[in-house]
Amino acid sequence: MKKLSPKKQEIWNMLQKSFEENRSKTIVNYFEEDKNRAEEFSIQWENFFVDYSKNRLSKSTLHLLLQLAEKLDLKNAIKDYFQGAEINETEGRSVLHTALRKAKSEKVFVNDKNVIPDVIAVKDKIRSFSKKVIEGDLKGWTNKPFTDIVNIGIGGSHLGPMMVNESLTSYKNHLNVHYLANIDGDVVEKLTREINPETTLFIIVSKTFTTQETLTNANTIQKWFLEKAPKDAIKKHFVAVSNNVEKIKEFGITPENTFPMENWVGGRFSLWSTVGISIALSIGPENFEKLLLGAQKMDTHFEQTPFDKNIPVILSLIGMWYNNFWNAETEAIIPYAESLRYLPEYLQQGIMESNGKNVDRNGNKVDYQTSSIIWGATGTNSQHAFFQLIHQGTKLIPTDFIGFRESTYGNTEHHHKLMANYFAQTQALMIGKDENTVKKELEKQGKTPQEIEKLTPFKVFEGNKPSTSIIIDKITPESIGSLVAMYEHKIFVQGILWNIFSYDQWGVELGKQLANVIVEDLETNNIKDSYDSSTKSLLNHYLKND
Ligand code: F6P
């Protein structure tokens, strides 16, 4: 993989020039200049329609961005990504979540070994295990079928499965799936009041099996469980997913209940692996496999489609345009589906843990911006919360609107209203409302000239706020698989464009190390002098030491 600085490319200067020349143009201007813009700036793929015409982007700028992608050797980087090259260089690993959704007939090599047969074997194990739990063939220690599943994990071992299960609630079976992530003891307490140990299956999910939150929660749960159950009940009620099989043994979990995870699957990209076992349990293994199929279809689209019709590539370039030339700090993600409410949170980890880096692939400090800040919530709720700022605030916030053509349960009346809001928001953001229109409206309402003069500035909407509309036919396991894979590939492309390593996360380590030191001092009430004075004062306040 080449290590080229985007800023050192001649095209970067051309993009800068293009930015200066076009910055006063509005999105509406672009539509006036080109009657076919809506068609030209949209991609129809399978059951996805991606319309990126409502962006501050001219054809010539897009052309330059596409050229930049070529110059930065994106084509070969994509090959490396899919073929298992060690693109996670700082950890010496391949990045192969895409291998998890490949068909049986395909081959992907890691250290000269085709990994697909193992992937298929693990998938078979997930299928037969989840079937047995769902159908009640596997039982608890008192011979009762399982009713509840508790996934104990955090970050990538939590957010992906929780987000997918919530998105696909309409596919859910009788099992109640709970997620235990935060180390906050109140959460464990609350959970233990809701579940019956005789009918609950616990899945400890941790790639490393060293994560403080997960191990603490797992130990607390196990202790609680053993207050009610005999020791050998652990064999029936505890399952583990990890890359650290030795540690699982120490926990008393049997080989049958051990689900391995490869080190070439990054935590935040792992929902397709054994980490997704709570998904297979909740929606059934057939639907889990459809989720994988949807992702695989997006992989093929990304791998084989020319850049100008390639959804992840186009979305990445647009993101870079706002981030690096318009200086937009954030990007909002607004799904118009309540069941997708965890998607922004999931993507926060995926995007920011991957591309929140300030050192390039050569080890030099970057002199340009990398990942945007990702945030969002569902529409229409967010319209009644923070949309004011997107419409009339001072920040530029490119926004992805994600909507569906059909509702899940067929309630057309609600769905038309939901989607009317989706369309209205993107329209309002682009067109705004000018002074003349505001004045006319106020006149019609019978306001006096003085009142009109006073109120007008507050009622004007500048418009020209960018959005990208993603419309998918329906929420299905397959479409959710494609949607998540689309964002995964966007993360990859942007990492290439910014010349950063997207698949490590060293930035989360320091806080973990310090917390381990602090917890010892809190437990022994021994606040050392070596702390900085601010932290020392807070710790003493916490312990009520004078
Ligand atoms: O702290 C960050 C992180 O390492 C994430 O990248 C990961 O998803 C999460 O912690 C959980 O890690 P593990 O699965 O090893 O417990």
Same domain, 283 and 320: no
Q: Is residue 298 part of a domain?
A: no
- pLDDT > 90? residue 251: no
Nearest CA to 38 among 508, 426, 544?
426
How confident is the model at residue 154, as a pLDDT?
Answer: 98
In ligand 1, the atom with minimum distance to the C-alpha of 505 is 6
State the amino acid at position 72 in one-letter form.
Answer: L
How confident is the model at residue 246, as a pLDDT?
Answer: 87
Same domain, 533 and 499: no
Distance between Cα 180 and ligand 1 center (Å): 14
**pLDDT tens digit string along 427-458?**
999 999 999 999 999 999 999 999 999 999 99
How confident is the model at residue 250, as a pLDDT?
Answer: 87
pTM of the complete model beyond 0.85: yes
Q: What does the alpha-carbon distance between residue 401 and residue 351 come to, in Å, rounded to a whole number? A: 17
Residue entry with tokens 């990126």 = 52
How confident is the model at residue 397, as a pLDDT?
Answer: 98
The residue whose CB lies within 8 Å of the most ligand 1 atoms, and thus the one to mutate among 88, 154, 502, is 154
Distance between Cα 155 and ligand 1 center (Å): 5
Q: Is residue 85 part of a domain?
A: no
Give the binding-site residues of ligand 1, using a 6 Å CB cut-off. Answer: 154-157, 206-208, 211, 214, 267-268, 353, 505, 508
The residue whose CB lies within 8 Å of the most ligand 1 atoms, and thus the one to mutate among 205, 208, 210, is 208
- Ligand 1, atom 6: closest residue by C-alpha: 267
> For residue 168, with 0-12 CB atoms within 10 Å meaning exposed, 13-18 middle and 19 or more buried, which class applies?
buried
- Ligand 1, atom 9: closest residue by C-alpha: 155
- Ligand 1, atom 13: closest residue by C-alpha: 206
Q: What does the alpha-carbon distance between residue 334 and residue 382 come to, in Å, rounded to a whole number? A: 8
Same domain, 470 and 537: no
Over range 20-45, report the average pLDDT.
98
Q: Is residue 524 part of a domain?
A: yes
What's the number of domains the chain is made of?
Answer: 3
In ligand 1, the atom with minimum distance to the C-alpha of 353 is 6
Question: Which residues are tagged catalytic?
Answer: 353, 384, 512
- Ligand 1, atom 5: closest residue by C-alpha: 155
Distance between Cα 267 and ligand 1 center (Å): 6
**pLDDT tens digit string along 90-133?**
999 999 999 999 999 999 999 999 999 999 999 999 999 999 99
Same domain, 180 and 241: yes
- pLDDT > 80? residue 61: yes
Same domain, 62 and 122: no
How confident is the model at residue 429, as a pLDDT?
Answer: 98
Distance between Cα 131 and ligand 1 center (Å): 28
Q: Is residue 88 part of a domain?
A: no
How confident is the model at residue 202, as a pLDDT?
Answer: 98
Same domain, 268 and 351: no
**pLDDT tens digit string along 122-156?**
999 999 999 999 999 999 999 999 999 999 999 99
> For residue 457, with 0-12 CB atoms within 10 Å meaning exposed, 13-18 middle and 19 or more buried, which class applies?
exposed
Same domain, 223 and 144: yes
**pLDDT tens digit string along 271-330?**
999 999 999 999 999 999 999 999 999 999 999 999 999 999 999 999 999 999 999 999
Distance between Cα 385 and ligand 1 center (Å): 31
Q: What does the alpha-carbon distance between residue 210 and residue 213 come to, in Å, rounded to a whole number? A: 9
- pLDDT > 80? residue 391: yes
Q: Is residue 217 part of a domain?
A: yes
Same domain, 238 and 339: no
Q: Write down the mean pLDDT value for the chain.
A: 97
Same domain, 148 and 273: yes
Q: Is residue 457 part of a domain?
A: no
Contacts of 405 (CB under 8 A, 6+ apart): 471, 472, 473, 474
Element (H, E) at 113: strand 113-114
Q: What does the alpha-carbon distance between residue 13 and residue 266 come to, in Å, rounded to a whole number? A: 35
How confident is the model at residue 245, as a pLDDT?
Answer: 87
Q: Is residue 447 part of a domain?
A: no
Q: Cα dihedral sign for 246, 121, 484, 420? A: negative
Q: Is residue 333 part of a domain?
A: yes
- Domain CATH for 192: 3.40.50.10490
Same domain, 514 and 474: no
Distance between Cα 417 and ligand 1 center (Å): 39
Percent of the chain with pLDDT over 90: 98
- pLDDT > 80? residue 546: no
**pLDDT tens digit string along 317-346?**
999 999 999 999 999 999 999 999 999 999
Same domain, 141 and 278: yes
Domain boundary among 262, 288, 314: 288
**pLDDT tens digit string along 185-223?**
999 999 999 999 999 999 999 999 999 999 999 999 999
Element (H, E) at 70: helix 59-71
In ligand 1, the atom with minimum distance to the C-alpha of 270 is 8
Structural domain boundaries enclosing 524: 507-543
Q: What's the pLDDT band for 405 if we cut at 50, 70, 90?
A: very high
**pLDDT tens digit string along 476-526?**
999 999 999 999 999 999 999 999 999 999 999 999 999 999 999 999 999
The residue whose CB lies within 8 Å of the most ligand 1 atoms, and thus the one to mutate among 95, 97, 207, is 207
Distance between Cα 513 and ligand 1 center (Å): 14
The residue whose CB lies within 8 Å of the most ligand 1 atoms, and thus the one to mutate among 90, 152, 157, 274, is 157
Q: What's the pLDDT band for 167 if we cut at 50, 70, 90?
A: very high
Q: What is the dihedral of CA 417, 422, 427, 433, to 10 degrees?
A: 70
Same domain, 499 and 521: no
How confident is the model at residue 166, as a pLDDT?
Answer: 98
State the amino acid at position 84 in one-letter form.
Answer: G
Q: What's the pLDDT band for 18 if we cut at 50, 70, 90?
A: very high
